[in-house]
Chains A and B, each alone.
Chain A
Amino acid sequence: MAEKHTHIIELKGIIKEYHPQKSFFSKGENKIVALNNINLGIKKGEIFGLVGQSGSGKTTMGRLLVKLEEPTKGTILLNKRPVTHLAGKALNNYRSRVQMIFQDPYQSLNPHLSISETILEPLKVHKIGTIVQRREKVIHTLETVGLLPGKDYYNRYPHQLSGGQRQRVAIARAIVLEPEFVVADEPTSMLDATIAIQLFKLLTRIRKEFNMTFLFITHNLAAAKYLCDRIAVIHEGNIVEVDSTNEIIGNPQHPYTKKLIQVQPGFHFNHLS
């Protein structure tokens, strides 16, 4: 494949198993396979959709990619270099290049840190810039994510913001380091549709502005259609289909994908009568 060297992230034979109740007497024979032999490449600069129902392993995949968990087997490559089981400086470096936007904006911001402290944290941790530069950067990032004017939000606390505004702050925290790759784990599932559309537009703009690559995890095929260049459909830990968005929606091959498209609520009210 000629396009292979443009892959920013590659997963090779990723298997993730969980062993419930590894207690003294049972060795946890009944393991749960969250991801079963995943092979996937995400191209630089694209918004890649990962669509699946709850429990399909899509969030697990996101957590593996930001190294909140390690795969049981398999390798993850970032720019063709293996990044599984990193530690120390290499892990720190990885953390500055791969970021995550979490699902619930009410849970993902520390209630006791102001907006500026939250967004400053990645800069402080990676020792980027002077105090003045950091301040500038935070205000600039706040304005990039549409919290205008940035100074007004600088000293506020999460409880003073709405859900949509909080999610913008979470996005600001994720992009302040200008990472190459961002995992967005259902960033709009807790927000209403109009806010969701605004955030999609924001993500598209950020992608253009910083040339970032996104993995967009969702259960909502419509959202994936709106936002993504390519889509992978995941079902019970297996990727059942990967293709361009138009192909997946217009010409689904796998029965599960077909079912998924069918159950997608649209405006086909005639089905009901």
Chain B
Amino acid sequence: MHKNHYLKRFLKGWKIFIKNPLGKAGLIILFVFMLMALASFLVPLLGPMYDPMTGTDPNIKVSTGPSFSHWIGTDNVGRDLFTQLLEGAKVAFIVGLSSAFISIVIGTTIGMISGYAGGFIDAFLMRMADIIMVMPSLVILLILASIFGQFNIWIIVFIIAIMRWPAVSRIIRSQTLSLKNRPFIEASKVAGASNFRIIFRHIMPNVLPLAFLYMTFRVTSAILVEAALSFLGFGDPSQVSWGMMLQWVWKTGHMFQAPYWLMPPGICISLLTLAFYLLGRAMDEVLDPRLRKEGQA
């Protein structure tokens, strides 16, 4: 019965979403990247030569342009750039979605608690959020990376998530503040519901759509931070990613010699972040009726 309710809510939102040209465009781009990410799982079937990390073409000793066996070319040691690009799509999704998800979970929980509890707890949590919010996340990551050496990709995901929850928690907090004094919350208090129950049973379903909206924006920023970090040489050295590809093209001095190597990862980063941004904008319209055009349901 809940499933039905949430499904109906989803379908209703979907109808508005899909009418929005921004949403449609975002979804199409996203779909293409999703196919790329899925295709990266098929790469091992092509044989060890096409492994994005370790596979090298024995016939190629320098970076070459597009050819029949290497669709967009190879790097300077003969690794296939197309499979690297596919692998990069997978990594971008993993980094973007998982760090966005973690920061949304932290941000929503803290935002709800802060808004609902008020007083000292609110002040404490929000000042903590302020402190983290003003920290430049890339610089912090660089400092940490230079102290502890190269990070595993999951540690990078986690640090990005930790750096990015405050903005979410502020939005959720303000939403909670407006919900907190609504009669249905008071009714449930009069019925004897615990604070825990009120927060997770009554407030959470009402703030969740907003949390998902902010998740799309978090994805964008997580992908950009990871790419920047990798490009600067502080990424996970055992993991191909688009930022890593850019790092290699820079480090090997092919920046202006091999456009077929430089362009694809750059374009992919831009397009994927754009796709998530467009998605967020369209979702914004679903959640905020004031943004809708006349005549839309």
Q: State the A residues within 8 Å of B (CB).
A: 66-68, 92, 95-96, 98-100, 102-104, 107-114, 121-122, 125-126, 155, 157, 170, 173, 177
B193 touching A125, Cβ below 8 Å: yes
Q: In the complex the two chains form, what is the Cα distance from A126 to B182 in whole Å?
A: 22
- Does B190 contact A95, Cβ atoms closer than 8 Å? yes
- The answer, among B2, B191, B206, for a CB contact under 8 Å with A122, is B191
Q: How far is the CB of B201 from chain A (nearest CB, A)?
A: 8
Known: A112-B5, A125-B197. A68 touches B183 (CB 8 A): no
Roughly how many angstroms separate A104 CA and B187 CA in the complex, as a whole number?
11
> Please, how many angstroms separate the alpha-carbon atoms of A260 and B53 in the complex?
86
Contacts A95-B192, A102-B183, A113-B202 aside, 15 further interface pairs with beta carbons under 8 A come to A67-B190, A68-B186, A95-B191, A99-B191, A100-B186, A102-B187, A110-B205, A112-B5, A112-B206, A113-B201, A114-B2, A121-B191, A122-B191, A125-B192, A170-B187
Q: With an 8 A cutoff between CB atoms, is B15 at the interface?
A: no
A67, chain B: closest CB distance, angstroms: 8
Residue B188 at the chain A interface, CB threshold 8 Å: yes
Q: Which of B182, B187, B189 is within 8 Å of A173, CB to CB?
A: B187
- B1 interfacial contact with A, CB 8 Å: yes
Within 8 A of A (CB), among B1-33: 1-2, 5
A107–B188 CB distance below 8 A: no
Q: Which residue of A lies closest to B188 (CB)?
A: A121
Q: Is the CB of A108 within 8 A of B187?
A: yes
Q: Is B69 among interface residues, defined by CB-CB distance under 8 A?
A: no
Q: Mark B176-213, 1 if CB is under 8 A from A, else 0.
A: 00000011101111111110010001100110000000
Instruction: Give residues in B with beta carbon < 8 Å to A.
Output: 1-2, 5, 182-184, 186-194, 197, 201-202, 205-206
CB-CB nearest in chain B for A95: B192
CB distance from B131 to the nearest CB of A (A): 23
Contacts of A157 in B (CB 8 A): 5
Contact B197 A107 (CB under 8 A): no
Shortest Cβ distance from residue B223 to the other chain A in the assembled complex, whole angstroms = 32
Partner of B183, one of A108, A111, A121, A177: A108
Which of chain B's residues have a CB closer than 8 A to the CB of A112? 5, 205-206
Known: A110-B202, A112-B5. A102 touches B186 (CB 8 A): yes
Closest 7 pairs (CB-CB, A-B): A95-B192, A112-B205, A108-B183, A122-B191, A107-B183, A110-B184, A102-B183
Q: Which of B2, B186, B187, B192 contacts A96 (CB 8 A)?
A: B192
On chain B, the residues within 8 Å of A122 by CB distance are 191-192
Instruction: Using A121-B193, A125-B191 as known contacts, say yes or no to A114 and B1 having CB atoms under 8 A apart.
Output: yes
Check if B193 sits within 8 Å of A100, measured CB to CB. Answer: no
Q: In angstroms, how far is the closest chain B Cβ from the Cβ of A173?
A: 7
Q: Which residues of B contact A103 (CB under 8 A)?
A: 183
Residue of A nearest to B202 (CB): A110
A109 CA / B202 CA spacing, docked (Å): 10
Cα-based distance from A96 to B186 in the complex (angstroms): 15
Q: Which residues of B contact A68 (CB under 8 A)?
A: 186, 189-190
Residue of A nearest to B182 (CB): A107
Interface centre among B1, B183, B194, B205 (most CB of A within 10 A): B183
A108 to B201, CA, bound (A): 15
Q: Give the distance to chain A from B12, nearest Cβ to Cβ, in Å.
A: 11
The docked-state distance in angstroms from the alpha carbon of A66 to that of B190 is 6
Residue of A67, A110, A177 near B188 (CB, 8 A) is A110
Shortest distance from the beta carbon of B296 to any chain A beta carbon, whole Å: 19
Task: Enumerate 24 A-B pairs (CB-CB under 8 Å) in ascending A order.
Answer: A68-B186, A68-B190, A100-B190, A102-B186, A103-B183, A104-B183, A108-B184, A108-B187, A109-B187, A110-B184, A110-B188, A111-B206, A112-B5, A114-B1, A114-B2, A121-B188, A121-B193, A122-B191, A125-B191, A126-B192, A155-B1, A157-B5, A170-B187, A177-B191
Within the assembled complex, what's the spacing in Å between the Cα atoms of A171 and B102? 41
Q: State whether A100 touches B187 (Cβ < 8 A).
A: yes
Tell me the bound Cα distance from A103 to B197 in angstroms: 23
Instruction: Give the distance in Å from the alpha carbon of A99 to the alpha carbon of B191 in the complex.
Output: 7
> Chain A residues with Cβ under 8 A from B187's Cβ?
100, 102, 108-109, 170, 173
Q: Which residues of B contact A170 (CB under 8 A)?
A: 187
Contacts of B206 in A (CB 8 A): 110-112
Q: B2 — which chain A residues lie within 8 A by C-beta?
A: 114
Inter-chain contact A109/B197, CB cutoff 8 Å: no
User: Min CB distance, B63 to chain A, in Å?
Assistant: 56
Tell me, in angstroms, the Cα distance from A121 to B201 when the chains sit together: 10
A98 vs chain B, min Cβ distance (A) = 8
A126 and B191 CA atoms in complex are apart in Å by: 9
Chain B nearest CB from A55 CB (Å) reads 18
Chain B residues closer than 8 Å to A104, beta-carbon distance: 183
Among A68, A92, A113, the most chain B Cβ lie within 10 Å of the Cβ of A113
